[in-house]
């Protein structure tokens, strides 16, 4: 699948950047790489495979836990459990033992043709999670904020597929992607109250191949987004300008996150579910986990959901 980028956009290149597939998977829908700084381990999920993986920074000593539900996203908790957006709603997941223990919190969209998808904790300890329409077409999905008292609030609606959730370094902006419609937004964000306002366009993804799936922010405040069906990860300024593009040997990267002991490695998950048999033959590393080094960028520690009960 040949991918081109608008050549009018400046792209910074570096001979030091190295892209390695460090774990072959393959996942059907790899998502949510998260660096657990307390344990020095990397977490990720296979959303459609209903699996949570944990491994070392070079993908060594991998362990897996199966759950009975499709997993849209996971986040770290202060009590060392995981917070998750499942097809059946919000839940805690304890992976401290041989088997995953799921404690359901509640479903914000019962009876709708949707499920929870992309999610991220903010630095006040809340969990933000958006849903997606199962047909990838109907604007029936919403963006939610799950507070530490385990009550959720609908923050925006009319969404098709929620992706790209990340917070600016100064906690004054929330980034969001309505990915199937090639829409990328920036909201004003109040960390103290948890309110968002003034939604406006952020990255014009129609200028590039692919659309923003999962994303993160680095210590310079730049926004890194996996370009699904674009075969790359893009780095964008806080104003939405493309700064650099890192090519990958797969068409469908899904989410990126900085990790490793120094938070200088960009981990990128990928997917196979949308690919034809011919594409899979051409991309033998599809569904794998990639580590990008030599970027000269570092990530921020992953915030934790602050609810203590379950």
Phi-psi category of residue 266: left, alpha or beta, with phi > 0 → left and psi -120 to 50 → alpha: beta
SS3 282: helix
- Tell me whether residue 213 is one of the annotated catalytic residues: yes
Are residues 129 and 85 in contact, defined by beta-carbon separation less than 8 angstroms? yes
Give the residue carrying structure tokens 């006040």. 124
In whole angstroms, what is the distance from residue 142 CA to residue 284 CA?
35
The conformation of residue 9, written as its DSSP 8-state character, comes to S
Are residues 130 and 144 in contact, defined by beta-carbon separation less than 8 angstroms? yes
Q: What are the residues facing 36 on neighbouring strands?
A: 41
Phi-psi category of residue 50: left, alpha or beta, with phi > 0 → left and psi -120 to 50 → alpha: left
Return the half-sphere exposure (C-beta side, CA atoms, 13 A cut-off) of residue 303. Answer: 21
In whole angstroms, what is the distance from residue 66 CA to residue 121 CA?
23
Which of 46, 118, 209, 213 is catalytic? The answer is: 213
In whole angstroms, what is the distance from residue 201 CA to residue 236 CA?
13
**How far is residue 147 CA from its own chain's centroid?**
20
N-term to C-term CA, the chain: 45
- List the catalytic residues: 213
């Amino acid at each position: 699948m040949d991918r081109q980028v608008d050549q009018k956009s400046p792209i910074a290149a570096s001979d030091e950047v190295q892209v390695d597939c460090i774990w072959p998977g393959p996942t059907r829908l790899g998502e949510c790489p998260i660096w657990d700084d307390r344990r020095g381990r990397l977490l990720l999920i296979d959303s459609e495979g209903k699996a949570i993986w944990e491994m070392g920074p070079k993908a060594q000593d991998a362990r897996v836990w199966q759950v009975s539900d499709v997993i849209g996203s996971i986040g770290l908790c202060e009590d060392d459990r995981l917070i998750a957006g499942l097809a059946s709603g919000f839940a805690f997941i304890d992976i401290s033992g041989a088997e995953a223990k799921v404690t359901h919190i509640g479903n914000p969209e019962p009876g709708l043709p949707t499920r929870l998808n992309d999610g991220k904790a903010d630095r006040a300890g809340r969990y933000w999670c958006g849903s997606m329409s199962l047909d990838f077409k109907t604007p029936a999905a919403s963006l939610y904020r799950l507070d530490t008292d385990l009550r959720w609030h609908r923050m925006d609606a009319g969404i098709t597929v929620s992706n790209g959730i990340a917070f600016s370094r100064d906690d004054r902006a929330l980034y969001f992607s309505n990915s199937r419609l090639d829409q990328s937004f920036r909201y004003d964000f109040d960390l103290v109250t948890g309110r968002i306002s003034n939604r406006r366009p952020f990255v014009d993804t129609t200028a590039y191949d692919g659309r923003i799936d999962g994303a993160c922010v680095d210590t310079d405040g730049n926004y890194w987004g996996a370009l699904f069906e674009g075969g790359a990860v893009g780095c964008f300024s806080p104003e939405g300008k493309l700064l650099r593009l890192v090519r990958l040997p797969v068409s469908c990267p899904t989410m990126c996150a900085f990790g490793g002991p120094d938070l200088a490695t960009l981990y990128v998950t990928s997917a196979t579910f949308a690919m034809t048999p011919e594409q899979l033959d051409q991309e033998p590393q599809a569904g794998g986990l990639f580590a990008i080094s030599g970027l000269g960028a570092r990530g921020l520690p992953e915030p934790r959901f602050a609810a203590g009960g379950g």
